[in-house]
Structure 1
Amino acid sequence: MSLHSLRIALCVFLLTLFGVPAVARGEQDTEGIAVRVTAVDGQLVYLDLGADAGILRGDRVELHTTGGKLLVGVVQTVSRQSARASFTDPLDEVDAGTVGEVIVPLGRGKKAPAHPPWSAPLESVDEDVPLLAPAHGRAPAERERTFRGRVYTGLDRTDDSRFDQTDQTLATGMDLELGNPFRRGGEMRISIDTFLREVTPPTGPSTRDTRIRVDRASYGVPLRRDTDTGSLYGRFLHTEFAELGIVDGVEFVRRLGSGAHLGVSAGFLPLTVDQLSTGDDFETSVFYRRSLGHADRVVLGGAYQKTWHKGAADRDLFLGKLDLRATDRIFVRAGVWVDYYGATDTLKSSGFEVTQAQLSTDWRATDATGLGLFASQRRWPDVEMDAYRVSEDTIRDGLLRSLGGYAWTQPTERTRIDGRASAWKDQDDAGGSASLRFTLRRVWSGRGDASAEVFTTRGSFSDSNGWRLSTWRGLGPGTLRLYWSHSTQDQIDFVGTQSSLGRDSLRASFDATFGRGWDVSTYVERSTGDEQDSTSLGFQLQRRF
C-alpha cells in the first residue's frame, strides 16, 4: 500500500472513532445477542436464534472459535427461531456448538412485552359473520413497490514487521431487494461484493488481485398464502433445500393439497470459492418438503440431484433432512447425504454410500439453562466437480467423525457460563477441543459485559492451549469492544527452537449505528509472539434502507 493510501486509511479510522460521536444524531448503543452454531454448510452457518430474539437480515455476526480466532459474517436469512449467516473467511474451526454474538442496536434483543387484554368493546356484531372471517389481501397490481437493502465499503490493512510485508484489501458491495417491480408480486434481488487486494513483499513488485463476486442476481415470484406456485430465475441459493447449493438457473415450487412443497430446479453450479465462476457443472434436482403439526413442529425434506461435468454424467446425490421441535424447549436437526456410484466410478464400490450425516440437539431445560449434543460423519465423494477434488487416497479411504456437546447456564441475572467439548477422528489421526467461558453482564455502569475464557485444542500437527478476555461497553453513539487472546502452540514431532510458539493478540473495535440506517465499524489489532509481529486496522461503513 502506498503512503498516500495509508494516510487515507488512518484518517478514515480517526474520523470514524472520534468524528462520528460528535456529529451523529439519533444515535444508538449496540449489544450482542448470544447465539450458538447449529450447523455449517460451506461458507454458511446456521444459528439457534432468529427474529423472535431480535435478529434481522444484514446484522453482523461474530464467532469465537476454539482456536482463538474471531470471525465476522453477515446474517443473510432469518426465520422466527433460526438464522443463516455467510462468511468469507474459512470456517475450518467452526462447527455445531461454536458460540458467538449477533450485533444489534441496544434494546432490540429484548423480548417484546405481552399485549394487554383487549378492553374496547365491539362496536357491532353481525351474528351471520364469524369474528375471525378471513381477510382478503390486495392483488399484486394494487400493491406498492418496495425497495430495501444495504450497501457497504471497507478497508483492511495488515503490516507484518516479522516478514516486512503489507497486505491490504478494499471491499465494497451491495445487497438490494426490489419488491413487486412488475406489479406481479415478484421480488428482484442482487448481491455483489468486490474485493481489491494488494500484497507488498519485502522484495519485488506488489501483487494485485481483483475479484467481483455475485452471490445473487435473481427474480422470482415466491409462494404466498394466496398462490400455489412459485418460481425463481437467475443466480440464487435453493429456497426449499439450501443443501443443494447455489445455482445459475431456474426453480419451480408447487404447494400440494396436503400443504407440502414439491419443486424442481435446473442450471449450472458455480464453484463456491473465489468469484463463483460457472459453466463446467450442470444440475437438475427434484425436492420435497412438508411441515407437520402446529407451528411447523416437524419439517421433513428429501431431494435428488443429478449433475454433469463438462457434459459427462457425474453425480447422483440423495439428501434427507429433519427439523423437529419436540417441545417448546427441545430441538433436533438431522441431515444425511447419500451418493450412488456406478461401474464408471473407479474409486468407490458400486452402490450407495453415506457421504455426510449430521445430528444436533438442543435442550433448553429452563430459561436459564440449556445443553446440546452434536455428531457428524463425512466422506469425500468421487466426483469431477472441482470444488470436491482431493487426493485419490482421501476419496477412497477418507473418513472424518466428530462428536461433542455443549452446555450453558445463567446462575444469576448477571452471570452466564458456557462450556463446550468435542472430539474427532479420521483415517489417520484423532484430536479434539474444549472451552469454558464465564460472562459477567451489566458491568460498566450497566452498559456492557465482560467475559473470560480458557480453551485447548489437540490436532494432527500441533496442540494449543490459551485464554482470552473480552469486554464491551456502550460509549457515546456506539459500542467499544476490547479483546485479548493468548495461546501457546506446541508443534508435534518438531525438533528445534520453534517447537513451541506463543502468540498474543490484542484488538479494539468501535461499532455505531446512527442517523437513518447508518452503521460504522472500525478496529485496530496487534499480534505479537514467536514468528509473529503484525498490526492490523480497518473500517467498514454500511447504509441500510
Structure 2
Amino acid sequence: MKQGQHIGGWVLRALAPCLLAVLAAAAPQERESEGEWTSLALRVLEVSAPGELEVDRGELDGLAVGDPVLLFPRSGGTLRGTVINVDTRSARIRLEDEGAAIAAGVRGEARVPPERFRREEQTEPLHPNADPPVLPPPSEPRWENRDESWRKGMPLLHRARAVRPERRAPRVSGRGYLIFDRTWTSEDSRNDSQLRAGTNLRIENPFRRGGTLRFDAEYDARSTVVPDAANEDDSTLRFERLSYAIGGTRFQPSRIEAGRFLQRGLPEFGVVDGVQWETRRANADRWGVSLGYLPELDARFRPADDLSVAAWYRWNADPSERFSVTAGLQKTWHGGSPDRDLVVTKVRYVPVNGWSFHGSTWVDFYGSKDRNKASGPEITQAIYSLSRQGNDGGIEFRFRRLRFAELLRNELLPVEPGQLARDRYDRVSARGWTRARKDRRLHGEVGLWDDEDEAGGDLEAGIEFPGLFTPRSRTDLTAFATSGRFTTSGGGRVTYSVEDEEGRYDLFYEWSVHRADGFSSAVDDFVQHRLRGSRSIYSLSGFDVYFDVDALLYDDEAALSIGLRLEQSY
C-alpha cells in the first residue's frame, strides 16, 4: 500500500467514529447568548449574486435589516456581512468583500440584540383565597386624549396612518470601500498586486415619488511582475448596477424596476439591462416578468447582444410564506439566434419547528441544433437541502449536481465540445453539530462525490470551545481527509478568534499531506502549511478597517499575501 493512501485511509478510519457520534447526537440549536448580543446560528442557502447570499434564518427567527452577520468558510478567516432584506423564514446578506468566494452550506452566525427574544415577566398569580390587593386611590388621568372614537373590536391604532413612501424625506445610504492585495511567490520571484475601489449607493425617494435609486460601481487595477519578462498591467471600471425601482409596498403591491439590476423574483436569471415588473396578489402569491439584455460576464461587465425574456410565479401556502413553490422560464437570443431555454424551480418549506427543506433545480432544454447535447431536457444544476436546527444541535443533508449548459453565449471560459458532453459533478453530504456541554461544540461532515474522471469521499470532524481563553473567544480544532482515485490527502486545522471593544482578531493554521498517484516518486508526495492572521476594527461612525496576512508553504515553494480593506458606511 502506498504511503499517501495509508495516511488517507488511517485518517478516514480515525474520523469516522467521531463524525457518526456527532450526526447521531445532532439535535437542534438556534441561538446562544454571549454578553451584550445573542448569537443566532445560520447557514448559506445559495449565492444569488456576487457578494449577496440567502441564509436560512428570517424575521420569525429574530433577524432584522441591519443585523451584522459573520460567516466561517472552511478555508479559514471570517467574512463579515449585513442583513439587507428579511423574509419570514429567510434573509438576504450582503458581504463587505463582494469578491469573496463563498459556497452554499457555509455556516455563520448573526448578532441579534437579546431584547428581541425576551418576554415580559409574568407575575405570580394570586392564591384563590387570598385577599385582593389594596389599590391606591385614583389619581389624575394620565392621558389627556381619551380617544373617544375608539370602540370595542377596533384596532388600537385604528386612527394612526402610516407615512406613504412619497411623503418621506429622501434618505441616502450605502458604503464606499478600498481594497488592496499583494502576493509574493518564490516561483520565478513573481508578485501580483490588485487594487479595488468601489461604492454601493442607495437613495430612497430621490424624486419625491416613493422610489429607490441604486448605483454600484467598482474600479479594478491589477499588476503582475515576473523577472525577465514583460509586466502585465490591466485596469477596468465595472458598472454593476444603476437602476430605479418604484412600488412593492403596502400601498402599491406592483413594483417596476428599470436599468441594470439583479432580477429580484428569480435571481438565478442573472443581471439584466432592461425592465422588470412584478406584483403581489391578495392571497400572498407573487409573479413577474422581465425584458432586457444580459451583460457580458467579463471583467468589464459590458453590454452584450443577448436578449432575455423571463417570467416567474411564486405560490405561497399562506401569508407567512413558510411553504412556497416558485417556477420560472427564461428564453434568450444570442445575436438574434435562439439560444437558451431555461426552467428554474424552487421549493422552500420552513416551519416554525421541525425539518426544513430548500430545493433549486435548473433544467435546460435542447433541440436538434445543439451538437453536444441530446434533444430534450437536462438538469444542469440542482441543490437540495434537508435540515433541522434547534437548541442543542443541528443536522443537514445536502445534494448538489452540476453540468455544463451548451450555449451560444460565452458564460464560461472556453469549453471543449467533449467537456460539454461528459463533464459532470455530483455530491451528496451530511453534516451535523451538537453541544456536548455548555463550553463545547462538536461538528462534523461526510461527503461522497463523483465527476467525469473519478469518485471519492471526504470527511471532517472537529470540536469548538467558546470562551476557552477569554469570554469572547472561539477556538476550533478540526481534522479532515479526502480520498479519490488520483489524490489522497489528510490533515488538521486550528482556528482561533477573539473579539474586543474595537473589533476582532482571527488566527488560522492548517497542516496537510497530499499524495498524487501516477506521478514520479519525487513529486507524488508533499506537505503543505498555511498560516493566516487578520485584524478587523469596527467603529460607531461606520468606518471599518480589515488587515490580513496569509502564508503558504509547500515543498520548496512559498507564497506570502497581505491584504488591506478600508470601508466607510453611511
TM range (shorter): 0.7 to 0.9
Q: For the structure 1 residues 164 and 35, does the alpha-carbon distance in structure 2 shift closer, same or farther, using more than 3 Å as the test?
A: farther
Partners of 2:49 and 2:421 in 1: CA distance: 22
Q: Deviations over 1:474-514 (max 9, x none)?
A: 34522222111112222231113221121111122111112
User: In the alignment, is residue 473 of structure 1 matched against residue 498 of structure 2?
Assistant: yes
Count of residues in Structure 1 that have an aligned counterpart in Structure 2: 509
Say whether the 8 Å CA contact 1:359–1:374 is kept in structure 2.
yes
Residue number in structure 2 paired with 1:64: 73
Alignment-mate amino acid for residue 55 of structure 2? L
- Structure 1 segment 41-440 matched on structure 2, within 5 A: 43=50, 45-49=53-57, 52=61, 62-65=71-74, 68=75, 72=79, 74-75=81-82, 77-80=84-87, 81-85=90-94, 91=101, 95-99=103-107, 101=108, 108=112, 110=114, 112-116=116-120, 126-127=150-151, 130-132=154-156, 135-293=160-318, 295-364=320-389, 366-388=390-412, 390-440=415-465
Alignment-mate amino acid for residue 403 of structure 2? R
Partners of 2:166 and 2:472 in 1: CA distance: 48
C-alpha deviation, 1:95, in angstroms: 4.5
Say whether the 8 Å CA contact 1:408–1:417 is kept in structure 2.
yes
Structure possessing the higher radius of gyration over alpha carbons: 2
Q: Which runs of no fewer than 5 residues in structure 1 stay unpaired?
A: 1-27
Q: For the structure 1 residues 36 and 239, does the alpha-carbon distance in structure 2 shift closer, same or farther, using more than 3 Å as the test?
A: same
Partners of 1:189 and 1:229 in 2: CA distance: 19
Partners of 2:467 and 2:225 in 1: CA distance: 44
| Aligned partner of residue 386 in structure 1, secondary structure | coil
Q: For the structure 1 residues 537 and 329, does the alpha-carbon distance in structure 2 shift closer, same or farther, using more than 3 Å as the test?
A: same
Say whether the 8 Å CA contact 1:522–1:540 is kept in structure 2.
yes
User: In the alignment, is residue 506 of structure 1 matched against residue 531 of structure 2?
Assistant: yes
Q: Which runs of no fewer than 5 residues in structure 2 stay unpaired?
A: 1-34, 124-140
Q: Deviations over 1:263-289 (max 9, x none)?
A: 110111123442222313110111111
C-alpha deviation, 1:30, in angstroms: 10
C-alpha deviation, 1:111, in angstroms: 6.2
Alignment-mate amino acid for residue 64 of structure 1? P
Residue number in structure 1 paired with 2:569: 544
Alignment-mate amino acid for residue 231 of structure 2? S
Say whether the 8 Å CA contact 1:153–1:541 is kept in structure 2.
yes
Say whether the 8 Å CA contact 2:77–2:506 is kept in structure 1.
no
| Aligned partner of residue 267 in structure 1, secondary structure | strand
C-alpha deviation, 1:355, in angstroms: 2.3
Say whether the 8 Å CA contact 2:295–2:302 is kept in structure 1.
yes
Residue number in structure 2 paired with 1:25: none
TM-score by length of structure 1 reads 0.85
Partners of 2:66 and 2:484 in 1: CA distance: 35
**Greater Cα offset, 128-137 or 438-447:** 128-137
Q: For the structure 1 residues 431 and 98, does the alpha-carbon distance in structure 2 shift closer, same or farther, using more than 3 Å as the test?
A: farther
Residue number in structure 1 paired with 2:13: none
| Aligned partner of residue 367 in structure 1, secondary structure | coil
Which of 497, 501, 509 is equivalent to 2:522? 497
| Aligned partner of residue 393 in structure 1, secondary structure | helix
Say whether the 8 Å CA contact 2:284–2:319 is kept in structure 1.
no
Partners of 1:330 and 1:421 in 2: CA distance: 20
Partners of 2:168 and 2:392 in 1: CA distance: 44
Say whether the 8 Å CA contact 1:503–1:532 is kept in structure 2.
no
C-alpha deviation, 1:242, in angstroms: 0.9
Say whether the 8 Å CA contact 2:62–2:117 is kept in structure 1.
no
Partners of 2:36 and 2:199 in 1: CA distance: 24
Q: For the structure 1 residues 156 and 517, does the alpha-carbon distance in structure 2 shift closer, same or farther, using more than 3 Å as the test?
A: same
Q: For the structure 1 residues 416 and 238, does the alpha-carbon distance in structure 2 shift closer, same or farther, using more than 3 Å as the test?
A: same
**Greater Cα offset, 150-159 or 111-120:** 111-120
Partners of 1:304 and 1:492 in 2: CA distance: 45
- How well do the aligned residues superpose, as a CA RMSD in angstroms? 3.0
Alignment-mate amino acid for residue 112 of structure 1? R
Say whether the 8 Å CA contact 1:248–1:270 is kept in structure 2.
yes
Partners of 1:121 and 1:532 in 2: CA distance: 78
Say whether the 8 Å CA contact 1:73–1:88 is kept in structure 2.
no
Alignment-mate amino acid for residue 378 of structure 2? E
**Greater Cα offset, 462-471 or 30-39:** 30-39
Residue number in structure 1 paired with 2:45: 38
Say whether the 8 Å CA contact 2:265–2:287 is kept in structure 1.
no
**Greater Cα offset, 322-331 or 512-521:** 322-331
Alignment-mate amino acid for residue 46 of structure 2? A
C-alpha deviation, 1:455, in angstroms: 1.5
| Aligned partner of residue 38 in structure 1, secondary structure | strand
Q: For the structure 1 residues 191 and 502, does the alpha-carbon distance in structure 2 shift closer, same or farther, using more than 3 Å as the test?
A: same
Q: For the structure 1 residues 515 and 73, does the alpha-carbon distance in structure 2 shift closer, same or farther, using more than 3 Å as the test?
A: closer
**Greater Cα offset, 256-265 or 298-307:** 256-265
Alignment-mate amino acid for residue 91 of structure 2? S
C-alpha deviation, 1:58, in angstroms: 9.2
Which of 437, 447, 464 is equivalent to 2:472? 447
Residue number in structure 1 paired with 2:137: none
| Aligned partner of residue 387 in structure 1, secondary structure | coil
**Greater Cα offset, 259-268 or 337-346:** 337-346
Partners of 2:165 and 2:84 in 1: CA distance: 24
Partners of 2:263 and 2:303 in 1: CA distance: 16
Partners of 1:314 and 1:170 in 2: CA distance: 36
